[in-house]
Chains A and B, each alone.
Chain A
Amino acid sequence: MGKIGRFGKFGGQYVPETVMNAVSELQEAYEKYRNDPEFLKELHDLYQNYAFRPSLLYYAEKMTKDLGGAKIYIKREDLNHTGSHKINNALGQVLLAKHMGKKRVIAETGAGQHGVATATICAYFDMECEVYMGREDMERQALNVYRMELLGAKVTGVDSGTATLKDAINEAMRDWATNIATTFYCIGSVMGPHPYPTMVRDFQKIIGEEAKKQILAAEGKLPDCVVACVGGGSNAMGIFYDFIPDQSVRLVGAEAGGRGIDTIEHAATLSKGDLGIFHGMKSIFLQNEEGQIAPVYSISAGLDYPGIGPEHAYLHETGRADYMSITDEESVQAFEYLSKTEGIIPAIESAHAVAAALKIAPTMNPDQIMIINLSGRGDKDVQQIARYRGVNLNA
């Protein structure tokens, strides 16, 4: 008892009794379908023919030359349908919801990418969709709000707490507890009660599986370093997972350092957080000494979360993965750098991974290989970056 869905001491199922049967029902359904050949065939067919997988592994030649260190490849999750890795998980979960006979899907969203992905798949499967989004994030990501509405989803603004991602999750959990019989909660990251951290990672692990095949085909060897940004941590778990047994591969997660981790305005959970129990899991959270969850900040709405998935907490504790924090300014510089150098505008979330790569790659040798997971495209962020740089687009 109490030991299922654990990664070391992290994980678990700390949810109200009202949703516990739904969690168990999901757990059973997922156990049934995770190795079901029919389900997996349907999922992989959708990955390929709807989400546009496999995504490219792109050799960033100019960046490699410019930095003068490791040979850099970019895993182009930004080229997926809907523009980010979030489609992989949304496809998996909504397909599972359909098999479970659920008619209504709810989701939380931060930057809007998971909300858009979920709304998209719900449109595809003719399912009712409601997305909870912090009011603050709705303003930062107005375009994605309209996009979700175009796709037929209802977007519900959340004003409670800090009006960002954690509050959207709180509200989605309350909805789930209220509409438990009909509703499937499609969580967007490798977080929440078991089975979510495992299930979401399994739906995302295609990223790393593809990247491994692609790099072996291109270079005939494994990469030396894999870099991804980490909020809840789904794109990072997705690309890390298949490389975990390969001890020679260094895994690096880039957290949101906001205005600096010595200020109070950041979301660098592993750098500054403590062990706690929240949102269904035992993991690391930014919190005060009495356990109140901290208001967090990042320029990136998708990394603006005070916790991290339990498997990352475990990889951090065991030292299998390294985590570093990237400030707003560093991420904006990386956003501009990748745009100008490679002609690829990254999501501001993914720009945190690019910024980490800009620090690490020059310290590596030219015979070494680095893969950056470019989790999403940056169109949604252009307006905000302009504002950050003091450019008035409406003048």
Chain B
Amino acid sequence: MPNRIDQKFEELKSQNKKALITYIAAGDGGYDLTEQAVLAMEKNGADIVEIGVPFSDPIAEGPVIQAASLRAIRDYHTTLKGVFELVKKLRTQTDMPLLLMLYANTIFRTGTDYFFEKCREVGIDGVIVPDLPFEEHDEFQDAAERNQIYNISLVTPASTGRIAKIASQAQGFLYCVSSVGVTGMRDNFDTDFDAFFSEIANASNIPYCVGFGIRDGKTAHRMSTYCDGVIVGSAIVNKIGEHGQQAVPEIAALCQELRAGLDQA
């Protein structure tokens, strides 16, 4: 069976559209809120959703996602087991690609084989592991491939000289980090995007999307001109931080704005 991520990008390409990939921290506000938010994001223009599995020590995250992880663990006792249940439930309601974003220890401690079997069983299409660089890619690769789960690779403006080798084994799409540092909304970027994305374009045979710092329709539009789609995390998570259980309409509105930004000629 082809991976839903590949199918989605083919579909977008045929429609000449850019991908909107959104992130939400699972269990932030409770599983029901996550479920409603994911469905609302799809309805309002998101093509792929990354579901973050909260970790006690999210070293790659900025303050917004750190706070969401803490809320999910401390206030809602979110567990990987619960996230799998949530995905199972979502899978009966949507056919969009669903990814898990989680730290290496969550997979490793759960048991690598069991984890990827479970991903396949509940309908996960890929994982993003922020603390698994190219050098350690082998850690999960066999189990991921056996279960047809894509292990999404990241490149950053600090990946000088590494982009070609990373791109050569990337699956699904290449996650391009817009600027060095941790996740979060930014007022400006100091990356030389022309140079960064031309290196990526030369190296990549698969779609590449950009994340970190995209907060609104304007930044989404601007960044999408360089690549095949944008990834938006903190701006969405922030809506739950601000609006709690009332966040779903806010998230829907933001997705509409992002979608409009991407579809703008």
Binding site for B on A (CB under 8 A): 1-2, 4, 12-22, 160-161, 166-167, 170, 173-174, 177-181, 274-280, 282, 285, 287, 289-293
The 7 closest A-B pairs by CB, nearest first: A291-B109, A178-B181, A277-B104, A292-B56, A291-B105, A20-B133, A2-B138
Separation of A179 and B162 alpha carbons in the complex (Å):
19
Interface residue B187 (Cβ < 8 Å from any Cβ of A): no
> B108 and A277: CB pair below 8 A?
yes
A22 vs B132: C-alpha distance when bound (angstroms): 15
Cross-chain contact B59 with A16 (CB below 8 angstroms): yes
Q: Is the CB of A293 within 8 A of B180?
A: no
Nearest-Cβ distance from residue A100 to partner chain B, whole angstroms: 16
Q: Is residue B55 within 8 Å, beta carbon to beta carbon, of the partner chain? A: yes
The answer, yes or no, to whether B197 is at the interface (CB within 8 Å) is no
Partner of A16, one of B56, B62, B66, B133: B133
Closest to B129 in A: A14
B110 at the interface (CB under 8 A from A): yes
Shortest Cβ gap from A149 to chain B (Å): 25
| A14 adjacent to B109 (CB under 8 Å) | no
Residue pair A18, B180 in contact (C-beta under 8 Å): yes
Please tell me if the beta carbons of A276 and B108 are within 8 angstroms of each other in the complex.
yes
Rounded to whole Å, the gap between the CB of B84 and the closest CB of chain A is 11
- Residue pair A177, B136 in contact (C-beta under 8 Å): no
Verify if B202 is at the interface (C-beta below 8 Å from A): no
Contacting B79 at CB < 8 Å: which of A15, A20, A280, A290? A290
Report which of B70, B81, B132 forms a contact with A14, defined as CB distance below 8 A: B132
Does residue B135 face the partner (Cβ distance < 8 Å to A)?
yes
Q: Which of A4, A167, A277 has the most CB of B within 10 A?
A: A277
- With contacts A18-B181, A290-B109 taken as known, whether A170 is within 8 angstroms of B104 at the C-beta atoms is no
Would you call A20 and B105 a contact (CB within 8 A)? no
Chain B: number of interface residues, binned into ranges: 35 or more
How far is it, in angstroms, between the C-alpha of A15 and the C-alpha of B136 when the chains are bound? 9
Cβ distance B187 to chain A, nearest Cβ, rounded Å: 14
Cα-based distance from A282 to B79 in the complex (angstroms): 22
In the complex, are the beta carbons of B131 and A14 less than 8 A apart? yes
Indicate if the CB atoms of A177 and B182 lie closer than 8 Å: yes
How far apart are the CA atoms of A125 and B104 in the complex, in Å? 37
- Chain A positions within 8 Å of B226 at CB level: none
A183 and B182 alpha carbons, distance in the complex (Å): 15
| B90 at the A interface (CB under 8 A) | no
Query: Is B137 in contact with A290, judged by CB distance below 8 angstroms?
Result: no
Between B57, B134, B139, B181, the greatest number of chain A beta carbons within 10 A of the residue's beta carbon is seen for B57
Does B256 sit within 8 A of A, measured CB to CB?
Answer: no
A293 and B182 contacting across the interface, CB-CB below 8 Å: no
Assuming A2-B139, A290-B79, A291-B106, is B56 touching A21 (CB within 8 A)?
no
- Closest Cβ of chain A to B59, distance in Å, is 5
Q: Decide if B57 touches A166 in the complex (CB within 8 Å).
A: yes
Task: Report the separation of the CA atoms of residues A14 and B129 in the bound assembly, to the nearest whole angstrom.
Answer: 10
B136 cross-chain contacts in A, Cβ below 8 A: 2, 12-14
How close is A4's CB to chain B, nearest CB, in angstroms?
7
How many angstroms from the CA of A282 to the CA of B112 in the assembled complex?
Answer: 14
Judging by beta carbons under 8 Å apart, are A14 and B158 in contact? no
Q: Which residues of the other chain, A, contact B106 by a CB distance below 8 angstroms?
A: 290-291
B156's nearest neighbour on chain A, judged by CB, is A18
> Which partner residue on chain B sits nearest A282 by CB separation?
B108
Taking CB atoms, residues of chain B closer than 8 Å to A21 are: 158-162
B72-83 to A contact mask, C-beta < 8 Å, 1/0? 010000011100
Whether A17 contacts B156 by the Cβ 8 Å rule is: yes
Q: How far is the CB of A273 from chain B (nearest CB, A)?
A: 11
One digit per residue, 1 when the CB lies within 8 angstroms of any chain A CB and 0 when it does not, for chain B 107-146 equals: 1111000000000000000000011111111110000000
Q: Is B155 an interface residue (CB 8 A)?
A: yes
Scoring B107, B135, B158, B181 by chain A CB atoms within 10 A of each residue's CB, the highest score goes to B135
Is B138 touching A160 in the complex (CB atoms < 8 A)?
Answer: no
A274 touching B131, Cβ below 8 Å:
no
**Chain A CB within 8 A of B177 CB:** yes
Cβ contacts under 8 Å, B181 to chain A: 18, 174, 177-178
Within B45-97, the residues touching A (CB, 8 Å) are: 55-60, 62, 66, 70, 73, 79-81
Q: Which residue in A18, A20, A180, A274 is a CB contact (below 8 Å) of B109?
A: A274
CA distance A178 to B103 in the complex (A): 19
Nearest B-chain residue to A194, judged by Cβ: B135
- Beyond A2-B135, A14-B136, A17-B159, 7 additional pairs, beta carbon < 8 A: A14-B104, A14-B132, A17-B155, A21-B161, A278-B105, A290-B79, A293-B57
Residues of B within 8 A of A4 (CB): 135
In the bound complex, CA of A12 to CA of B110 (Å):
19
How far apart sit A166 and B59, CA to CA, in the bound complex (Å)? 10
Interface residue? B100 (CB, 8 A): no
Q: Is B154 an interface residue (CB 8 A)?
A: yes
Picked from B59, B159, B177, the residue with its CB within 8 Å of the CB of A173 is B59
Report how far A279 CA is from B109 CA in the complex, Å. Answer: 15
